[in-house]
Amino acid sequence: GESVGLHLPTLSVQEGDNSIINCAYSNSASDYFIWYKQESGKGPQFIIDIRSNMDKRQGQRVTVLLNKTVKHLSLQIAATQPGDSAVYFCAENTGTASKLTFGTGTRLQVTL
Amino acid sequence: EAGVVQSPRYKIIEKKQPVAFWCNPISGHNTLYWYLQNLGQGPELLIRYENEEAVDDSQLPKDRFSAERLKGVDSTLKIQPAELGDSAVYLCASSRGGRGEQFFGPGTRLTVL
């Protein structure tokens, strides 16, 4: 399949290590944040979300941290696997409607 | 449950030609979105429907782009005429309600020559 992005920031991690992907968001009024995973040739896939009244949320092998003071979001993936290789996007939602603004993606490469 | 279906998956046309993309959302999802994704960037919203009503089309270039969702289910996005800069992936997504989780289709990759 075709590449999602050829000039994205890239994070390379070894299989089994933990990965941390960072995102700076722009709107201090945003109240809902989502991390998406996009594999080559596919649409974005929901990973985990967090609301602005929380600073941490955990899922299966993934944790999202939210720092509203500096408008920063991070995604932590524990025990990274080859299947985690993809481009990861954060998205922010402002207001009552589901209007998402996506950030710049990060390509995660998992090496064996 | 079937996911969001889009067709065609790939389309190659010459500039100034028309092109149309089709999307069938997940059953029961009343909110439908069309996004444009340029290479190396995140998706950008073009238009959002609540049932058959376009509630946000502020980012849709209306001189050449149009969309419809006549029966509040499937939707068509059209470009006429296409320009070289329209080459991108066009993604469709749907959600149950305006604040529900958005599920994306695989996209249509458009190449304008």
DSSP codes, B55-93: EE-TTS-TTTEEEE-TTSS-EEEEESS--GGG-EEEEEE
E strands within B9-52? 10-13, 19-24, 31-37, 44-50
Determine contact, residues A2/A69, Cβ cutoff 8 Å: no
Read off the pLDDT band of B83 (50, 70, 90). Answer: very high
Region A101-110: what's the mean pLDDT?
A: 93
Q: Which amino acid is at A16?
A: G
A78 to chain B, any CB pair closer than 8 A? The answer is: no
| Amino acid B29: pLDDT | 94
Task: Please report, in angstroms and rounded to a whole number, the separation of the first and last CA atoms in chain B.
Answer: 37
A42 to chain B, any CB pair closer than 8 A? The answer is: yes
The nearest CA of chain A is from the CA of B67 a distance in Å of 18
Pairing of strands A10-14, A106-111: parallel
Name the DSSP class of A78: S
| Amino acid B100: pLDDT | 76
**Residue recorded with tokens 């602005």:** A52
| Amino acid B72: pLDDT | 87
* Rounded alpha-carbon distances, angstroms, from residue A25 to A18, A21, A31, B16, B37: 23, 13, 11, 37, 19
Q: Higher-confidence residue: A30 or A76?
A: A76
Task: Give the torsion sign (CA, B56, B85, B113, A1).
Answer: negative
Whether B39 sits inside 8 A of A6 (CB atoms) is yes
| Amino acid A20: pLDDT | 97
Whether B102 sits inside 8 A of A7 (CB atoms) is no
CA dist A59 and A108 (Å) reads: 19
Determine contact, residues A29/A96, Cβ cutoff 8 Å: no
Nearest residue in A to B94, CA atom: A98
Helix, strand or coil for residue A99? Answer: coil
Q: What tens digit of pLDDT does each residue of B8-33 get?
A: 999 999 999 999 999 999 999 999 99
A51 to chain B, any CB pair closer than 8 A? The answer is: no
Residue A6 has pLDDT above 80, yes or no: no
Task: Give the torsion sign (CA, B11, B91, B112, B75).
Answer: positive
Residue A63 has pLDDT above 90, yes or no: yes
Read off the pLDDT band of A7 (50, 70, 90). Answer: low
Residue A98 has pLDDT above 90, yes or no: no
